[in-house]
Structure 1
Amino acid sequence: MLNWRIEALHLKLKYTWKIARGASNEKINFLVQVSDGRYSGFGEAAPNIRYDETAEVLLQQYEVLLKAGLPRVRSVEDLLELLTEHKPVNSLRFAIESAYIHYFCQHKGIPVYTLLGQDPPGKQPTCISLPIMEPGEVADFIRMNNLNRFSSLKVKVNPEQATELVQEVLKFTERPIVIDGNEGWTDPDQLMVFMEQIDTSRALFVEQPLPASHAAAYAAIKDKSPLPFIADESIIDDGDFEMLRTQFHGINVKMMKAGGYINAIRLLQEARRLGMKTMIGCMIETSLGIWSAMQLSSGFDFADLDGFLILEEDPFGLVQERDGFLYLK
């Protein structure tokens, strides 16, 4: 029998993390461990209220899985069957699946990426995100955090300040930017006006500007947009890809949304089959979650894996960042 345990990770942030949906100065994630007494595997859950994930729900579902036979799992196939029959929220599903796969690979003496059929993770460039802030704070924020060492900057925006905030960021960086709306716009015409007011030649794409429920609006403006649209909240652990490609030019796969390595690979393959751009992203996570994402990152066009860089202190040190590149320790 395997021994499983879960514990809360209380994570303080370096600065107020503000996006279109709200703001926070701390985060509670969860560490899941599985062990046979000799070999151990660890996984991280970063619950997100956008997907109705709370600490209480996560812990309740973990107890259900224990009672349903989690300690008696003997293979990846056993685990997947259990997680299908007693489906937990996606962040917990990823923590459990990844913990078991990490344990299994330790036991067998093989790299995680080999088991998953991926290329070895190497030096990985990542963009870095700026939270929503007053435009007058941008210059000091970029300078104090030395953000120009990264190959691109992601700007979190809301409709009220988006134009001024983006223009201010472009004054203090020569790097290309990504614009992340986090479903902040509700009026597609207002979104189009915003894009007409900024220098789109210096932007790579816009991530999820309208709510996921606005499928018809996305489809109506996709081909008129001066910038590609990348789906985030519109693609969780599954999606109608034939419909998604009428709304978006690409997708953002996050391990915590996908619910596991295996499903994340499926989403990547489906997007590639349809010629869509692919991005691997993250929540606010420790280097354990980022280490896990890096096992797949070589297969994606673009990486946004800066979640651990927002933490005041990372408890694991599994990934190092130098000059805007990530390295596995």
Structure 2
Amino acid sequence: MKVSLKKYTLPLKHTFSISRESHDFQDSLIVALELHETTGYGEATSNPYYSITVESMMKEIKAIRKELEAFNFTTPEVFHQFLTGKGLTNFAVCALDLAAHDLYGKLQNKPLYQIWGTDIQTYPTTNYTIGIASIEKMVSKMKETPWPIYKIKLGTDDDVAIVRELRKHTDAVFRIDANCAWTFEETIHNAPLLKDLGVEFLEQPLKADDWSGMEKVMHKSVLPIIADESCIVETDVEKCGLHFNGINIKLTKCGGLTPALRMIKKAKEMGLKVMVGCMTESTVGISAIAQLLPQLDYVDMDGAMLLKKDIASGVEITKDGIVQFPKIAGSGVTLW
């Protein structure tokens, strides 16, 4: 099996700001796995919050390149089990796992959702993310991309006022993501005000390790609470069940589609709502997320929509939120 690695710097349409950082470009690693003249593609983006760079991921993968190329590939699950014993970060594992799933589907000549026995006739609509900026800029972004569901990034001194102003310009559903920036008191104060403004749920209002605070929030908030930074790997799902109403799974954080499938199953058994989110990936990563759509309650897969320039074809999202799945099998990715 041939392994290829390439770094891309993805330009964003607008400066993307959340409560802890801002950026105009997103560095991303694309992994290609080639077997029997068929190539599968995977992706993982850099992330300063988790101290991940493209260079660090490439170094990890290059260190085991000979083992990867000698590996007798059969299924993504067996490959993932092999990877977890190599001491890689989950981000590096994710890029390899996504490539393995795309490769496997292409070798089977079936899209992944079909291999998993799911039907794409019904699926949730992705939200479109509005990063922190001046109110004028946030309104401008909404007008530029009219959408039925917006995820609003917050974490300022005037969060409710921002949402109140944005509400004047759209009837869309709002979802709020504070990225760990609020306190318990702020969350409980803001929740009823935001509910009256058409907010559907709150995502990760408190710090990731504030479990006691989150348990109190869940019992007192008038809005559902979805875990993000508190739900990284499979073992976090059960703990989140006592502190949140649902979880947001990130493929890069958990290590790819293989563990994400198990996390979805576990969350549903616990009665949690399930969301899968993106990390401003290109169409490579977004196409992998899209294969999970029939299994989800919510999805945040607008990463490629936020880019000024994409690097691949695959799943496409129309202006009315309809997902167009490619005719190519696997995740359906073709790198340009």
Map of 1:28 onto structure 2: 27
Deviation per residue, 1:231-254 (Å, 9 max, x gap): 001111223444312210000112
Task: Kindly indicate whether residue 170 of structure 2 is the aligned counterpart of residue 173 of structure 1.
Answer: yes
Are 2:158 and 1:156 equivalent residues in the alignment? no
C-alpha contact (below 8 Å) 2:123/2:293 kept by paired residues: no
Cα distance in 2 between the residues matched to 1:31 and 1:280: 20
- Offset at 1:136? 3.2
Residue 252 (structure 1) aligned with residue 251 (structure 2): no
Aligned-residue sequence identity (percent) comes to 27
Aligned twin of 2:257:
261
Number of aligned residues: 324
- Judged with a 3 Å threshold, the aligned counterparts in structure 2 of structure 1 residues 190 and 117 are, in CA distance, closer, same or farther, namely same
Say if 2:26 and 2:46, in contact at 8 Å, map to a contact too. Answer: no
Q: Which position in structure 2 is the counterpart of 1:225?
A: 221
Q: Residue 276 of structure 2 aligns to a residue in which SS? A: strand
Q: Distance in 1 between matches of 2:248 and 2:140?
A: 29
Give yes or no for contact 1:8–1:28 (8 Å, CA) kept in 2.
yes
Residues 136 and 38 of structure 1: CA distance in aligned 2, closer, same or farther (over 3 Å): closer
Answer with 305-314 or 110-119: which moved more: 110-119
Distance 2:265 2:240 in 1: 14
Report the more deviating stretch, 200-209 or 111-120. Answer: 111-120
Give the TM-score normalised by structure 1: 0.92
**Is this contact kept in 1: 2:28–2:43, CA < 8 A?**
yes
What residue number does 1:324 align with? Answer: 321
Alpha-carbon contact 2:200-2:224 (below 8 Å) kept? yes
* Counterparts of 1:180 and 1:85, CA distance in 2: 34
What is the CA distance between 1:90 and its match in structure 2? 1.8
Aligned counterpart for 1:274 among listed residues 270, 278, 281: 270
Counterpart mapping for 1:124-163 below 5 A: 125-143=125-143, 145-147=144-146, 150-163=147-160
For structure 1, list consecutive stretches of 5 or more residues without a partner in the other structure.
none
CA distance in 2, matches of 1:72, 1:15: 42
Q: Shift of residue 198 of structure 1?
A: 3.4
Matches within 5 A, 1:42-81: 42-76=41-75, 78-81=78-81
SS at match of 1:6: strand
Seen in structure 2, the aligned counterparts of structure 1 residues 157 and 15 have a Cα distance that, compared at 3 Å, is same
Deviation readout 1:243-278 (Å, 9 max, x if unpaired): 312210000112222212121011111110011111
- After superposition, the CA RMSD in angstroms is 1.9
More deviation in 164-173 or 17-26? 164-173
Structure 1 residues 196 and 306, CA gap change in structure 2 (3 angstroms) = same
Any idea what SS the aligned residue of 2:324 has? Answer: strand
